[in-house]
Structure 1
């Protein structure tokens, strides 16, 4: 059985809770990611910042400059999500995919003993689907348009 360990991203970009929202947004843009795990000084997983969280915390440009909150003044710890379902590296792919679909979330942090090992996203599951479709196509008989009867 395939498990999350086989598809999760382990080369992680993370931030600490005292980082500013501006710093987190820059990290997310530079690395083209939508989910930023937040770890404490010991490297333990403590929260998650999503692209949606960043957009929601960003102040409106409709306010005057004097009244506007700036991303450089907002700490990640003030806007990050802390109530997050996590899974272990041995979790099955099917259950994880069903969880993402059912709860309409885009990622599952993979954690063991408080340590962040990786993250699996809906994009990872698209990759799995592509591989399965390619395997199916390879196993189907090829129709070449020729009549084999002579």
Structure 2
């Protein structure tokens, strides 16, 4: 069995100008672990994953407040809270994407795919043929193979 047998051919991609909020909604809405980032010509220039988003949000200062009845008293400087929200809203995919993208050929075997995924913590992995993005494969795609009754034949 080869990568082309399990890859998703209809790849959802994003431009580097998309906001972090938009890409987070896209990932959640389509139940994706990551998406390739492409330029205007469709060239693969990066990848943005759930890990990139989580790492980015770990750096965000969330305001602390004390709620007394219906009043919220911010314990932080209100201007700082405003500045932080504006910074978050202005963050784009280009700011957080990984430019180092581990790709795989559609004719590669599953062992090679597993090696790329495990050794580089790569999920998902774009599938590239002759310099063109032709598919994408994720942990989920690999796990589906384990459910097959003919597992021994498939992985032989």
User: Taking structure 2 as the reference length, what is the TM-score of the superposition?
Assistant: 0.77
Partner of 1:102: 119
Which structure would you say has the larger Rg? Answer: 1
Moved over 6 A (4+): none
Query: Are 1:60 and 2:75 counterparts?
Result: no
Q: Bigger shift: 102-111 or 59-68?
A: 59-68
Q: Which consecutive unaligned segments of at least 5 residues does structure 1 have? A: 138-150
Which of the two has greater helix per residue? 2
Q: In the TM superposition, what is the alpha-carbon distance from 1:48 to its structure 2 partner?
A: 0.3
Q: Where in structure 2 are the equivalents of 1:116-131 lying within 5 Å?
A: 116-131=133-148
State how far apart, in whole Å, the 2-side matches of 1:41 and 1:73 are: 21
Q: Where in structure 2 are the equivalents of 1:1-150 lying within 5 Å?
A: 2-58=1-57, 59-62=60-63, 64-69=80-85, 70-131=87-148, 134-135=149-150
User: Taking structure 1 as the reference length, what is the TM-score of the superposition?
Assistant: 0.80
Q: CA RMSD in A?
A: 1.9
Higher relative contact order (CA 8 A, sep 6+): 2
Contact 2:52 2:97 in 1 (8 A): yes
Partner of 2:70: none
Q: How many pairs does the alignment contain?
A: 134
State how far apart, in whole Å, the 2-side matches of 1:120 and 1:60 are: 34
